[in-house]
Structure 1
Amino acid sequence: RATIITSQLPLEHWHAWIGDASIADAILDRLLARSHRLALKGQSLRTQPPGASNTTDSPKTVG
Structure 2
Amino acid sequence: MLSRLARFNLLILDDFGISAFEADEANDLLEVIEDRVGVNSTIVTSQLPIDNWYDCLKNATVADAILDRLVHSSHKIKLSGESVRKLKSEENIV
- Structure-2 separation of matches of 1:44 and 1:30: 29
Matched, 1:41 2:80: yes
The answer for unaligned runs of 5 or more in structure 1 is 54-63
Q: 1:34/1:13 Cα in 2 relative to 1: closer, same or farther (>3 Å)?
A: same
- Structure-1 separation of matches of 2:55 and 2:89: 35
CA RMSD of aligned residues (A): 2.0
Identity in percent: 43
TM-score, normalised by the number of residues in structure 1: 0.68
Q: 1:49/1:20 Cα in 2 relative to 1: closer, same or farther (>3 Å)?
A: same
Q: For 1:1-63, list aligned pairs within 5 A.
A: 1-48=40-87, 50=89, 52=91
Structure number with larger C-alpha Rg: 1
SS in 2 for 1:43: coil
Q: 1:38/1:49 Cα in 2 relative to 1: closer, same or farther (>3 Å)?
A: closer
The answer for unaligned runs of 5 or more in structure 2 is 1-39
| Residue correspondences, number | 53
Higher helix share: 2
TM-score, normalised by the number of residues in structure 2: 0.48
Where relative contact order (Cα < 8 A, 6+ residues apart) is larger, the structure is 2
Higher strand share: 2
